[in-house]
Chain A
Amino acid sequence: MNLPLSLTINGVRREIVLDDPRVTLLDLLRERLDLTGTKKGCDRGQCGACTILVDGRRINSCLALAVSHDGAEIITIEGVGRGGELHPVQAAFIAHDGFQCGFCTPGQIMSGIGLIQEGQAGDDPERVRECMSGNLCRCGAYQGITEAVLEAQADINAPKQRRSA
């Protein structure tokens, strides 16, 4: 069974033919497109290491069949920096020690970017923690992760506020 699909991944359109409908977005990225920044932790939607943006929304790529997402726009950790410059969330994770071993970090960063776009948490650390609860960190860097997301959100929103003032 050949299953053709078209995906835009980090701004690049890819025409893909799957020979197996079981391939998840996570396995497609890692095993077939060599985009290994997205991590496979539990592979069951419990850890968040595989978080990517699909049509602008953060989801668990391990629980998404690739074939069901024909036509989608996907952003992975490889696609968030611009011309060698870190995304504000990436920079904030470094500034705030938002990681130790780093395995969960791509998922944390993609989730943080998704959270900021959703705009539901505001500047309340408790809401940020709640909205990041789908990303586990076994090193326990949660304090730094929360600070990083809050600072990056302030950075990203600051120019907008200045413009509207």
Chain B
Amino acid sequence: MSMTAFLGRRLLQLVPTLIFILIVVFVLVRLLPGDPASAVLGDRALDADVERINRELGLDRSLPVQFVAFVKQVFTGNLGNSISMKIPVTQLIADRLPITMLLTFMAAVIAVVMAVPLAFVAALRRDRLEDSAIRGAFQVGLSMPVFYVGLILLTVFGAKLRWFPVGGYGDGFLDHLYHLFLPAVTLALSLSAILMRNLRSAIIGVVDAEYVTFARAKGLRANLILFRHILRNALISTLALFGLSIGTLLGGAVITETVFAVPGAGRLMVDSIYGRDYPVVQGLTIALAVLVSVTFLLTDILQAWLDPRVTK
């Protein structure tokens, strides 16, 4: 099978995934306790008003009818209006999701930059001082809850040393990067610990592989053996883990955005759930699910490029 065929098949697989996401989102939102009408009108609303709101939102119709309307809307790019903010959900997502994407992306980059070189050192100096120190440090990072790490970083580097802002998002791209740095580090810590441990054992497994001995027997330079023969093979399994972790990372963004007062999609999601803002919760969940699916797709493509056995 060629790369094109692989891509085609992989893209086709997205279709049922997306349909499934739509069904789950639709059902889940309706299973939430409380109803939007009383959220809008308060506890002492008149029955007539509740009925009117429900009619306006289309919530008085049967579930299948609502679902068909819902799917139609999604495919025309219309995710409805926010009940509490009275603006289109697509508008809200366009405003807030990029912040979360940038945060997640920064966290992923920081995690990789920390994990890959240290995994190499730990693997090649296995069971020596360097290895124990690196693994010990990451173990601490892994065992602390995200919000706690966030608070410590915030206190030390934000409030005490004043190197970084204590919250917000800033203006302009560089300012965004500056504001998101601490939250991104917070988010990256546990991921980098997981990646480091995984890559370390992958490298250890590959270093003793016969093809590495064969590469040495060919008289190749140490660097070439390290990057072409060891790293590339070791990365295959770690890459799969990395792709799966992006979903977790997006979930972790909810907590991190709350701690650092970052106005991203995570915060929006929490606020909308409290406010029973169905359309926003629905739209945001769909957007996040699509984002995760696309990440998985990119991971698969990267993996196919690294490992020819995937496509052939």
Bound together? no
